[in-house]
Amino acid sequence: MTLVSVFGCVLPESDPLQRLQLSEDSIFDAEINSENDVAIISVVGGAVEVWDLTTSTKRFTFRHQGDGVNLVEIVRFSPDASVALTADDEAFALWDMQTGEPYGFWRIGENESIRDIAVSNNGKAVLVGRANGQVMYFEPTTNRRLEFIAHQEKINSVDISANGRYAITGSNDYIAYLWDTTTGQIIHVFNHPHRVSKVVLDQQSRYVFTADSQKQATIWDVQSGKKISSLKFIERQVIFTAAHFSDDGEYLITGSPSRKLALWRVSTGEKIKQWQVKARQDSPIRSAVVYGVGFQSQRPVSIASSGYLSKWE
């Protein structure tokens, strides 16, 4: 689901420490696994590629739909980067990150298009958020399946814990739920005044980040469900396309449409720094969506729809 915002003025780009052009074409989606220094991108008009960030070299190329047109709109890693996931509107595939070979390909039911998807360590569990408002928890090796039906409208964002035990889901019904994938029991309810557009679970299970389509973006304590902080910004509306907590739990890095990358302090919601990523030179809009964010050697790193990976001070 590509998000693009158009502004009347051209924002100046920031100078990164290092910039690598991963693709000359635009990118549908991207994700960075900071702990294992790898990135995955879905290239418009191309295929899905896995990159080694330590050597800046391409490791694998995946063909989700065979030799047909690339329609993969979502790419993900398991937290341990042992498995990669690719998904279009109707199906998803899991890939072995040691060999580059597929584990399997699964098609969901008709009229249940995939809105967002996440995978746990070793590909043990997959969480699928769908347009019909339901969330499917699925274990590929055991075929165990659980349907979470608490949401009343279409799902916009999902995430799953590293061990597959906990899920966070956000919907157009203005609610994000943290729930147990073993029982389907709701643990915490996070209410918003507008549709929930982004949810992220800290992989050490300390925090949850939930953001709506207007101005409420909040960091919550996983254990208590209490608010830790709200992100402080002056804009009337901010949409988040990516978010990632630092290993030490002190920082949250976020990506947004219109080239924005920001670093926040978890304890206060204070914005520490903001950058503008590079847009495509041949684009008449002169904008870019930040899809992948993370930290490499404790420095922020980002991938934008323009095809550039950037490392920041």
Q: Which of 216, 196, 208, 272 is nearest to 245 (CA)?
A: 208
The pLDDT assigned to 300 comes to: 96
Domains of the chain in sequence order: 18-311 (2.130.10.10)
The pLDDT assigned to 34 comes to: 87
The pLDDT assigned to 285 comes to: 61
Q: Is 0.85 surpassed by the pTM of this model? A: yes
Residue 283 and residue 313: Cα distance in Å, rounded? Answer: 27
Residue 180, both tokens: 């147990």
The pLDDT assigned to 52 comes to: 96
Question: Model confidence over 136-146: pLDDT tens digits?
Answer: 999 999 999 99
Residue 110 and residue 58: Cα distance in Å, rounded? Answer: 35
pLDDT values of the chain reduced to their tens digit, one per residue, 313 residues: 434 333 334 457 889 999 999 999 999 999 999 889 999 999 998 899 999 999 999 999 998 877 778 899 999 999 999 999 999 999 999 999 999 999 999 998 777 899 999 999 999 999 999 999 999 999 999 999 999 999 999 999 999 999 999 999 999 999 999 999 999 999 999 999 999 999 999 989 999 999 999 889 999 999 999 999 999 998 888 899 999 999 999 999 999 998 999 999 999 999 999 999 999 776 656 689 999 999 998 899 999 999 999 999 8
Q: Given the structure tokens 């939930």, which residue do they identify?
A: 210
The pLDDT assigned to 284 comes to: 59
The pLDDT assigned to 46 comes to: 87
Residue 192 and residue 313: Cα distance in Å, rounded? Answer: 33
